[in-house]
Amino acid sequence: MKNVRLRFAPSPTGPLHIGGARSALFNYLLAKKYRGTFLVRMEDTDLERSSAASEENIKDSLKWLGMDWDEGVDAGGDCGPYRQTERLSIYRQAVDKLLAEGKAYYCFCSEEELDREREAQSARGETPRYGGKCRDLTREEWQSRLDSGAKPVVRFKVPPGEEVAIDDLVRGRVAFETDGIGDFIIVKSDGIPVYNFAVVLDDVTMKISHVIRGEEHLSNTPRQVLLYDALGYAMPKFAHISLILGQDKTKMSKRHGSTSVVAYRDQGYLPEALVNFLALLGWSPEGEEEIFDLDGLVEAFSLDRVSKSPAVFDLEKLKWLNGVYIRNAAPERRLAFALPHLQNAGLVPAEPAADDLLWAQTVTEALKNHINAFGELPALIARYRQPVAYGEELGEELKALGEDAVTVIRAVLAKLEALETVSADGYKALLKEVKKETGIGGRPLFHSVRIAKTGSTEGPDMDKVAIIIGREGMIERCREFLRFMEHFLQS
């Protein structure tokens, strides 16, 4: 394939969300696969809702995910500028051409008028669409209205009785009747072009070869096709990917939890895990392997394995995937990602000393198998720092353990008191001795200790927990447990 050029063209009206990131990723992957260009442009024609902060968020999110762009905002290139509000003259020329050729016309209808028309149409069960009141106004009429200060919109004259079809790379041939489309607005009364018009010109002038975008744009595509025709431009190839749904199968929204990329970053997800997960949303690899880094995805990705049916966002799977990446990461990388969460929770100072870093490292390594996101770390650690609560769910286990638990903890307590400090190895040895002394080993031994120290039957290796709790903490917990058991065994 030659001159493959793909783009991600978000409107900066909010943070980059999961759906946008997935679109960006698919465009990125295809561009890289064919050694083409990936570019980013901003569709900021909605002056009300666009903001510089959103643009920054989107760019930061893309970079964080590892999707650097070859061309576009901040990166430059030959087809700029890459913000629609900076391309107004390009659009103006095209509008003038359409107006001159009679393919578009000024419309002076007021918004109230249009609202009323639409309402009446829906009331009658008709498709709401522009009736064409201004379609046949003469140029003289335009001029006199313009002269008297009217601010018209420009509408595209949709040719009646035609069929427009697109050959979609994921959905196949999709056809629409032009009779179902009213003359649509291409330039707003403030002179800013509308999305459907601006995209066409941008994609043409930026020489885009493939447009991968969400399914919500499928119904808009015939309008764009009409514009390509009217302007005499060749069309890019289209690929409309299915929507991302929440667990309840409705369109993904805040109700379903976090939807922005930064939210996942802040919860302690690794970018490579999120990218991997995003790729699996609507695309499936050929073999059994589901774990792919960006380069692996570039190689494996192809549009013919993109699904037509909507993809459901499965948070459980994202968590699992993130857990896999956490476990596979290098210890330094784990520490780098864990540190901010430890600092936010006040467990490590903002300016950590060597000791603090060592502690953070130790804790992170001890808990790496027990978390699916780094944000879970503080809560887990809190379990070893706050007084233990021996909850009701432990009842059965404790009953089964019975006097053995008391015997074990008494022995452990005695040994701890005799020691100065506790290392992981020292603790292992300590338990061995307890086993020898009491004759209790295996599950009864470990579960007694685990429950006494953490109030839970599951968690990391006991020697690692020992380091997190420390000698004093353990002694305190042993005593507390013995007090608790006295009452428990009586009742």
- Pairing of the two strands 71-72 and 37-40: parallel
Please list every residue from 408 through 437 that binds RNA, using CB under 7 A: 428, 431-432, 435
For residues 214 and 454, what is the distance between their CA atoms, to the nearest angstrom? 48
Marked catalytic residue, from 63, 151, 254, 428: 254
Q: Which of residues 441-460 bind RNA (CB under 7 A)?
A: 441-443, 445-447, 450, 457-460
Nearer to RNA, 253 or 344 (CB): 253
Q: Of 37-76, which residues contact RNA (CB under 7 A)? A: 43, 45-46, 49
Output 51 or 284, the one with its CB closest to RNA.
284
Contact residue for RNA among 93, 144, 250, 423 (CB under 7 A): 250
- Angle of CA points 357, 361, 362, to nearest 5°: 120
Task: Extract long-range pairs of 396-404: CB within 8 Å, 24+ residues apart.
Answer: 397/447, 397/451, 397/457, 398/451, 398/485, 398/488, 401/444, 401/447, 401/448, 401/451, 402/489, 403/489, 404/438, 404/440, 404/444, 404/448
| Only segment of 58-66, 71-79, 262-270, 307-315 that touches RNA (CB under 7 A) | 307-315
Task: Tell me which of 78, 136, 140, 190 binds RNA, using CB under 7 A.
Answer: 190
Per-residue buried b or exposed e for 219-240, using 16+ beta carbons within 10 Å of the residue's own CB: ebbbbbbbbbebbeeebbebbb
Phi, psi dihedral angles at 110 (to 5 degrees): -85, 160
Question: In angstroms, what is the minimal distance from the CB of 351 to RNA?
Answer: 32
Q: Is 436 a catalytic residue?
A: no
CB of 15 to RNA, least distance (A): 14
| Nearest alpha carbon to residue 153 among 184, 195, 180 | 184
Instruction: Output 35 or 249, the one with its CB closest to RNA.
Output: 249
Tokens linked to 8: 């991600």
Task: Show contacts with RNA in window 255-274 (CB under 7 A).
Answer: none
Taking the least distance from each CB to RNA, the nearer of 168 and 348 is 168
Asked if 125 touches RNA (CB under 7 A), the answer is yes
Stretch 472-491 residues interacting with RNA (CB under 7 A): none
Report the residue from 33, 97, 103, 129 that binds RNA according to the rule CB under 7 A.
129
> Comparing C-alpha atoms, which of 276, 144, 164 is closest to residue 230?
164
Closest contact distance (angstroms) between CB of 222 and RNA is: 8
Residue numbers 329-388 binding RNA by CB under 7 A: 369-370
**CA–CA separation, 364 and 358 (whole Å):** 10
Which of 138, 309, 421, 491 forms a contact with RNA (CB under 7 A)? 309
In the bound state with RNA, the residue whose beta carbon lies nearer, of 280 and 294, is: 280
List binders of RNA among 166-185 (CB under 7 A): 171-172, 174-177, 180-182, 184-185
How many residues at the interface with RNA, by CB under 7 A?
89
In angstroms, how far apart are the furthest CA atoms of the chain? 107
For residue 295, which amino acid is it? D
State the minimum distance, in angstroms, from the CB of residue 186 to RNA: 9
| Burial zone of 312 (CB within 10 Å; 0-12 exposed, 13-18 middle, 19+ buried) | middle
* C-beta of 35 vs 124, nearer to RNA: 124
CB closer to RNA out of 139 and 151: 151
Span of 86-94, 217-225, 333-341, 401-409 interacting with RNA by CB under 7 A: 217-225
Please identify which residue in 63, 92, 139, 251 interacts with RNA, judged by CB under 7 A: 251
**Which residues carry out catalysis?**
254
